[in-house]
Amino acid sequence: MTLSLPQDWPAPSSPKPIVIIGAGGIVRDAHLPAYRKAGLTVAGAVDVDAARARALAEDFALPRTWPTALAAAAEMGTDAVYDIAVPPGAITAILPHLPKGAAVLIQKPMGADLAQARAIRDLCRSRKLKAAVNFQLRFSPMMMAARQAIEQGLIGDPLEIEVHLNIFTPWHLFPFLIPMPRVEILVHSIHYLDAIRALFGTPQAAFARSLRDPRAPDFAQTRTTVLLDYGDARRGVMSINHNHPHGRKFQDASFRIEGTRGCLMVKLGVCYDYPRGEDDELWFCPAGGDWGQVPLTGSWFIEAFMGPMRNLQRFDAGEDAALFSGVEDAFHTMALVEACFEAMEMPAVALRRD
């Protein structure tokens, strides 16, 4: 199927070197491979564990390391872009050490809760930081193409957006999540809520339930249901189960995006057999027509990680008019996440048994 659906964020013409703050697994697995593929230069790394920063520098041939973010900022100033890839609770301690007016990419989530998100937003405002949040799913080729299809009117008036996951997630790979009181929505489904906002806009309200599972007993939540209120015209729903150990046959990780004139189906390939994953897929069916697959230029992991940094670099240079995942927009994703957690505290309507 031949459709003109741009999928890749354009590259900056004169990119600045990148300072990595945080040398954890996501930097190794996604950030640095994506920046290498995008032709972006990484100047060096910072981590509270100096040995870990040095190991990262050795493995990826980075020129140097710094003992602190403050030391990196003192040397590089606004001639670098800062990629903060640390746990959410550490973000507010780092931002004051960065140069005023610097370009900054902040790892999702934007804090552990809405209060932290507000503090991050206020710090970015007060220090005039050109700051974006790394909600990279909205930058993935499949979601970029889906957004273009919606904007071009290929599905008509948007009516339905449904996220369905029935997969087996190897939770033993994420022991750092064990002490967290908020897990599934804050760390995983936040990607889907953000992508939904990018495709369908921000809902008026949300209802949610997120539960633990005896098959993953150490984690606060690994199953989630979310209903999004868009009024009378649009319907948004998420059904997420990370604990399906019964083989590949009936596993599913998909978006269904349906309108008055057509439907899009998105396959989230990385969710299958994580972390090896499968190919992402995008399918389109016009009303009354046949399904056809839309060729993709890459995947969520790793190509999607190129987009936020490219957009930030171009915005910093005046080549892009706006940040697609800037902190002002990302704050609304955090507000939606907070609404889901607040809804979990509200009682459902009990059945009348009289």
Between CA 270 and CA 248 the distance in angstroms is 13
pLDDT < 70 regions, the chain: 1-2
Q: Are 253 and 267 spatial neighbours (Cβ–Cβ below 8 Å)?
A: yes
Tell me the CA distances in angstroms from 264 to 3, 159, 187, 268, one per residue in order.
13, 12, 26, 13
Q: Are 211 and 184 spatial neighbours (Cβ–Cβ below 8 Å)?
A: no
pLDDT score of 348: 86
Query: pLDDT tens across 324-336, in order?
Result: 999 999 999 999 9
One-letter identity of residue 158:
P
pTM of the shown model: 0.94
Alpha helices by DSSP H, listed for 152-278, are: 190-200
3 state SS of 222: coil
The full set of domains in the chain, from first to last, is: 18-137+305-322 (3.40.50.720), 141-299 (3.30.360.10)
pLDDT score of 108: 94
pLDDT score of 101: 98
Q: Look-up: residue for tokens 């100047």?
A: 43
